[in-house]
Amino acid sequence: MRTFFWSLVATGALVATASAATATDRTIPLEAAATDVAFAPDGRSLYVVTAGRNLLQFDVAAGRVERTYALDNDERRPGVQVAAGRFTTVTSAGALRLRELKNGNAVATFSVPVARARIGTVAAASDGSLLAIAGGDPAAASANIVHVVDRTGQPRFRFPAGIGAMAAMAFSPDGGTLVAASFDADIRIWDVRTGTLVHCLEEMPLAMFDLDFSRDGRLLATAGADQTIYLWDTKTWRIVRRLEGQPETVRRLRFSPDGTRLVSGGMSALDFEAPVKVILWDVASGRSLRTWETAHRVNALAFSSDGRQVAVADGSKQAKVWAVPN
């Protein structure tokens, strides 16, 4: 980390203000659109990474930015993997870089063989022991591959992954399963202990844009262009429930830590800068409990560890924290 800034000074515009909706709702103005958000395990801080190459640590209760870490100029697309205490960036040379959340220090930088050195979607196991990295297959122009590597970049497996770029990937909470949703509309499920493809869910006609496991690993939620959230039983890999009502493409979704709720965020396929809905769902009944609105398409969602707050980053230059109704 070349530069370390304290609080608001260096970025100038990082003054946080509380919105009027409830005592704990927050709006965080940013110097660039946020690409990812994640709460610290203690729930006190929210990490926000931006397209402007900054990592902010935001004190939710105090409503102010505690620290800002500036990334290097060659880094882009930062994503927070908070459970492992790290976050990832992709360098312009096509390498993946891991940094510590607590001090911003780079702990590893490594490359994987993907076409034109363009790393696509990245996912991390919850303990940080494994990373999945998607990209084009250098040997076949219209094919894609997923590399599974350990935290130092040592390869474990290399999976053929269909013909579309990868929309989203996630490890199961026990770290034994990797699920990947491709723009070719198939969902592939690999056993990362044996390196084998165990299922390919082909029944979805349209691509799923995001997916998330419930914390107990029993359910997988997927959603995408058809505006429906699908809940899959991860033992049978059958759909057990559909949540309908998002008025746009579903771009992001996350389970609450106790698995009883789910939050989804939209995207206008016509205009990424059009306002969209963020919906809180009751998983058991499939009913929507609360609807918010964001200015632009939703880039990231996160629940706090107690499930009482949800953070959202959209394409506009702000992140928000909302109180979740009981």
Partner 1 sequence: MPTRPVPRREFLEKCITGGFLVGAAAVSQTRLFAAYNEAVQKAAKPTPPEVLGPFFKKGAPNQTNLRVAGEPGLPLAISGRILDARGEPVHDAKVELWHADHRGIYDVHGFRYRSKLALGNATQYRVETIMPGHYPSRPVQHVHYLITAPGCKPLITQLYFATDPYFDGDPDRNFAKGGVVANRECVRPVMLLDENTAPRTAVTFDLVLEKA
- HSE at residue 324, side-chain half, CA atoms within 13 A, is 26
Write down the least CB distance from residue 123 to partner 1, Å: 18
The CB-of-30 to partner 1 minimum distance in angstroms stands at: 21
| 167 near partner 1, rule: CB under 8 A | yes
Which stretch in 34-42, 189-197, 239-247, 263-271 sits in contact with partner 1 by CB under 8 A? 263-271
200 binds partner 1 (CB under 8 A): no
* 142 touches partner 1 (CB under 8 A): yes
DSSP 223-284: EETTSEEEEEETTTTEEEEEEE--SSEEEEEEE-TTSSEEEEEEE-SS-TTS-EEEEEEETT
Binding flag, residue 201, partner 1 (CB under 8 A): no
Does position 230 interact with partner 1 (CB under 8 A)? The reply is: no
Spatial separation of the C-alpha atoms in residues 111 and 278, rounded to whole Å: 36
Tokens 């960036």 correspond to what residue?
89
Among 5, 77, 226, 237, binds partner 1 (CB under 8 A): 226
Which residues, 6+ apart, have CB-to-CB distance to 203 below 8 Å?
none
CB of 295 to partner 1, least distance (A): 14
Any contact of residue 117 with partner 1 (CB under 8 A)?
no
Q: Return the structure tokens found at 325.
A: 């109704």
Contact by Cβ (8 Å): 145, 137: yes
| DSSP 3-state of 153 | coil
* Number of residues near partner 1 (by CB under 8 A): 28
Round to whole Å and give the CA distance between 184 and 257: 30
Query: How does DSSP assign 160-174, residue by residue?
Result: E--SSPEEEEEE-TT
In the complex, the smallest distance separating the C-beta of residue 278 from partner 1, rounded to whole angstroms, is 19
Token pair belonging to 303:
């629940």
Asked if 165 touches partner 1 (CB under 8 A), the answer is yes
Choosing from 74, 127, 271, 282, the residue that interacts with partner 1 (CB under 8 A) is: 271
What does the block give as tokens for 250? 């579903």
Q: Which of 132, 178, 225, 279 binds partner 1 (CB under 8 A)?
A: 225
- Identity of the residue, 80 or 169, whose beta carbon is nearer to partner 1 in the bound complex: 169
Chain residues in the site for partner 1 (CB under 8 A)? 140-143, 163-165, 167, 183-185, 202, 204-207, 209, 224-227, 249, 268-273
